[in-house]
Amino acid sequence: MSEHQLGDPVKRNRAPEDEENGERYRAPALDKGLDILEALAATEVGLTQAEIAKALDRSPSEIYRMLDRLVRRGYVVRTDAERYELSLKLFALAHQHPPRRRLVSLAIPLMRGFVQAAEQSCHLAVFDRGRVVVIAQLDAPTYWGVAIRVGAHVGLLGTGSGHVLLAFQSPAERAMMLAEHEAAVGEQPAPPDLEARLAALRTRGYERMESQQTRGITNIAAPVLGPDGSAIASFSCAFVAQVDPSRPGIEVALARLTEAAAALTALAGGQMLARNGGVRP
């Protein structure tokens, strides 16, 4: 479990508004089935019917019919030892829509909204096999702007995107990312103050730093979080200040950027950031 991940495996993805505003739309049978799938996903050895019931605070008879339906539909398998495990059906369904392509399709409308509101370009980046890769990009709507082409590799240690992708990981995952990146790119080891900087980033929920590659550019970036609270992508902008004071400034851009990243997190089924940073329980 990551350092910023909160709550038990079944309840941690539920937002407070689910209890406050969503009761009239409850579907108890569906909730029960999803709770069972989430409980099984959190274990590597499977669970008995009694163990599932205990984890969900329900009686064994209450979940029997739901387990039977999940087995019959192929989402769950029952072993010879009378334990229940997830099948590969969910994995197969997920791969009918490649995750990266799906993430980009969800991001593009939000990126369009950002570039119109902030009058800046923006891009979406992910960590892939030791490199930070730009997977989507939109130009500023004005006649000038700074764009990073799709497919470009950007730094892990010297960019807003890289810092965001590192900050919202468990210490073990962060160490593996740094090792992979050093092996793939040959970049120097992480600076000694990196952990402190990433901790501060987690607290405020975004990165804002002067570009280490281009003068006059301020990198701003916010995380797109997955279901376990780790960063699956960075929503980023290479901000260029305009002389005209009537044009949107960096505070406007930062507000719109964090809003777009939060909206994409919600669409991707991820955990939301609390207002003071960190992952909301």
Q: Does a structural domain hold residue 275?
A: no
CB 66 within 8 A of CB 33: yes
Say if residue 243's pLDDT is above 70.
Answer: yes
64, 93, 122 — which closes off a domain?
A: 93
Identify whether residues 146 and 234 lie together within a single domain.
yes
Q: Give dist(CA 227, CA 34) in Å, integer.
A: 14
For residue range 25-34, what is the model confidence (pLDDT) as tens digits?
678 888 899 9
In this predicted model, which residue has the larger pLDDT, 22 or 11?
Answer: 22
Does 279 fall in a domain?
no
Residue 26: give its domain's CATH number.
Answer: 1.10.10.10
- The answer to whether residues 123 and 157 belong to one domain is yes
Q: Reduced to 3 states, what is the DSSP secondary structure of residue 200?
A: helix
Q: Looking at the 3D structure of the chain, how many domains does it have? A: 2
pLDDT digits (tens, 9 = 90+) for 186-208: 766 778 889 999 999 999 999 99
As given in the structure block, the two tokens for residue 67 are 């387990």
CA 79 to CA 81: how far, in whole Å?
Answer: 5
Mean pLDDT of the residues in the chain: 84
| Last residue in a domain, options 24, 59, 93 | 93
196 inside domain:
yes
**Nearest-angstrom CA–CA distance, 184 and 178:** 10
Comparing 185 with 1, the larger pLDDT belongs to 185
Q: State the pTM of this model.
A: 0.66
Domain end, chosen from 93, 119, 136, is at: 93
Q: How far apart are CA 157 and CA 165, in angstroms?
A: 10
Most confident option among 26-40, 87-101, 247-261: 247-261
Domain of residue 85 covers: 16-93
